[in-house]
Amino acid sequence: MDPSKSQLMQYVPVLMLAVVAVLFSAGTLAASSLLGKRARRSAVKDTAYECGMLPVGEGNTRLSIKFYLVAMLFILFDIEVVFLYPWAVNFKGMIREQPGLIFGSMAGFMVVLFIGYIYALKKGAFDWKQ
């Protein structure tokens, strides 16, 4: 069998999982709307049942800017980690032929980002209470 085919075949379970997920969610929605009885809705029936606060006011409250800062820093370090995957895969093969290149490139990359990390730390970006 063609090796490129076999590597694609490894993704068939992923596809099957996606199909099952879609079918299950669509199936439960369809089943509940087909089998369930249509309830008569009224203002009283739509209130929170037995316990819980009565819903008053806006549904979506505005978040603090602090969440944005944390999410953004998370993405930036996430991207940094993404570059570590191909580096780690290549490290063993390249360390013999071009040790300076494979080591230096990632060291330079990390140093620059470490400066950013120190900056964020000093500015208190990870300090939630500030």
Partner 1 sequence: MQACLFYLFAALTLLCGVLVIANPFTRNPVTSAMFLVLTIVSLAGLFVLLHAFFLAAVQILVYAGAVMVLFLFVIMLLDLKEEERRKIKAGAGVLGLAAAGGIALLMIAVIRQSNAGVGLKPASAEGSTLDLGKRLFTDYALPFELISLVLLVAMIGTVLLSKKDLK
Binding residues for partner 1, rule: CB under 8 A, are: 2-4, 6-8, 11, 14-15, 58, 60, 62-63, 65-69, 71-76, 78-80, 82-83, 85-87, 89-90, 93-94, 98, 101-102, 105-106, 108-110, 112-113, 115-117, 119-120, 123-125, 130
Q: How many CB atoms lie within 10 A of CB 84?
A: 13
CB 108 within 8 A of CB 46: no
- The least CB distance from residue 33 to partner 1, in Å, is 17
- In the complex, minimum distance from the CB of residue 96 to partner 1, in angstroms, rounded to a whole number: 13
- H helix runs in 3-64, sequence order: 3-9, 12-35
Rounded to whole angstroms, the Cα distance separating 35 from 94 reads: 62
CB of 18 to partner 1, least distance (A): 8
Q: Which residue has the tokens 């940094």?
A: 80
